[in-house]
């Protein structure tokens, strides 16, 4: 048996995803980043809203928002969140990210992510990264459920922390 097949078998046996599966997840998220839904919760009611997350090749996920937004207030009380990427129009491919949102204050990080955005953030934050309303959220992943077809069903990925 080749080393590649042994590696794949050992990882599947341990429940560890191989790089090609991780790349599928990332490509689904990137392809559907304009169609993502972000859920946070206040004390007794979940709140879901559309967002345009920024997804990096290393699976870092960022959400830009307003400091005065309801989601930021909710995250300050309860950082648990869920982000859903769904392929349109038929919904065959989907990625559901469960984790915690962390508010990022570092200007260097804000600038780097600002430059990754594939949409014009200046329309929302005219003063750029130093705009008092510009808030950057990093989604710290606890679990990912995903599917690349209805027939294949859902798979689960839990990153090593």
pLDDT given at position 14: 42
CB-neighbour burial class of residue 117 (10 A; exposed 0-12, middle 13-18, buried 19+): middle
Q: Which of 135, 142, 34, 35 is nearest to 75 (CA)?
A: 135
More confident residue, 66 or 24: 66
pLDDT given at position 9: 36
pLDDT in tens, 63-77: 999 999 999 999 999
pLDDT in tens, 29-38: 777 667 789 9
% residues pLDDT > 70 (the chain): 85
CATH number, domain at 24? 2.30.110.10
- Residue 105 near residue 130 (C-beta atoms within 8 A): no
Torsion 35-41-42-47 (CA) sign? positive
More confident residue, 137 or 161: 137
CA angle in degrees (0–180, nearest 5) for 77-69-94: 85
**pLDDT for 3 beyond 50:** no
Q: Which domain holds residue 110?
A: 3-157
**pLDDT for 128 beyond 60:** yes
Domain tally for the chain?
A: 1
CB-neighbour burial class of residue 65 (10 A; exposed 0-12, middle 13-18, buried 19+): buried
Q: Which of 144, 46, 55 is nearest to 96 (CA)?
A: 144
Mean pLDDT value of segment 144-157: 82
pLDDT given at position 101: 98
Structure tokens at 63: 């959400």
pLDDT given at position 17: 55
Mean pLDDT value of segment 74-99: 89
pLDDT given at position 96: 92
pTM given for the model = 0.81
Q: Which of 81, 86, 113, 77 is nearest to 97 (CA)?
A: 81
**pLDDT for 11 beyond 60:** no
């Amino acid at each position: 048996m080749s080393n590649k097949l042994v590696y794949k078998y050992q990882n599947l046996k341990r429940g560890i995803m191989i790089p090609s599966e991780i790349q599928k997840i990332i490509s689904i998220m990137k392809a559907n980043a304009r169609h993502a839904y972000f859920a946070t919760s206040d004390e007794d009611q979940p709140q879901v809203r559309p967002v345009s997350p920024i997804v990096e090749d290393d699976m870092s996920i960022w959400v830009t928002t307003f400091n005065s937004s309801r989601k930021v207030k909710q995250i300050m009380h309860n950082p648990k969140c869920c982000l859903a990427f769904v392929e349109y129009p038929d919904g065959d491919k989907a990625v559901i990210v469960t984790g915690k949102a962390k508010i990022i204050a570092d200007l260097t990080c804000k600038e780097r992510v600002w430059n990754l955005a594939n949409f014009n953030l200046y329309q929302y934050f005219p003063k750029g990264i130093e705009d008092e309303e510009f808030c950057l959220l990093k989604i710290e992943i606890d679990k990912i459920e995903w599917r690349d077809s209805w027939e294949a069903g859902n798979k689960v990925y839990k990153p090593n922390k």
